[in-house]
Amino acid sequence: MNNAIKTTIQESPVTTYDSGNRGEIQDSIKAGNKSIQLKQVVTKISHYPTRVVNNNLTEISFGQEVNDTNDYHSSETRVTWVEVSADKWKALGLTGKELDVKILADFEAYLASKPKARIYKTLSTEPILSEGQKRGIEAGLTTLEAIAEKQLVRYGNGDNQGEPILWNGLKQYKVLAFSENGKADVDLRKVEVFIGSNPVDIEVLQEEALEY
């Protein structure tokens, strides 16, 4: 059946980004590194047919095409940072502003050579930890609570501004990261279901339900 809502995803190229207060490039907290800020706009276009020929319980492919649609656009601006070692450029004798300008120019050329590059999103109902963050927690340099606070998905405006956006009653955590190879978004969110006091895999429950 062709009455279903169709979705188109459009992504702008990844570019270096000057947010106005932090700039495109700055010294990293890691000695010898530079941090470069990146931006990408992801637009989701939902195509709703202007009329429904049959409902979703009917299985038919004949004469179901509807050419007219109402299109709804929603855009998400994704911003993240990448770290690069400045050693290669310092070895050329570059320093200060000249160093930053050269690294940025070379990085933009690098982006132009990576047409699949994108900023991918990971969502989870638990804080998302990199290996470096795990080591930082073990060393006492940070805490799980501090990382969770930064990753928590919140309302950006309106009456609920600053409050968590819940998913099936659970808090959500988000991380944006750069991929030169076009890594797809990752959804790790899961619903915990309990029978008595025992947690049960929701996918297993769904499979068992289909057997009856």
Helices H / strands E in the chain, number of each? 5, 10
Q: Which has the higher per-residue pLDDT, 59 or 11? A: 11
Residue 208 has a pLDDT of 44
The C-alpha atoms of residue 109 and residue 105 are separated, in whole angstroms, by 6
pLDDT tens track for 118-138:
999 999 999 999 999 999 999
Buried b vs exposed e over 9-47: b needs ≥16 C-beta within 10 Å? eeeeebebbeeeeeebbeebeeeeebbbbbbbebeeeee
**Whether pLDDT at 203 is above 60:** no
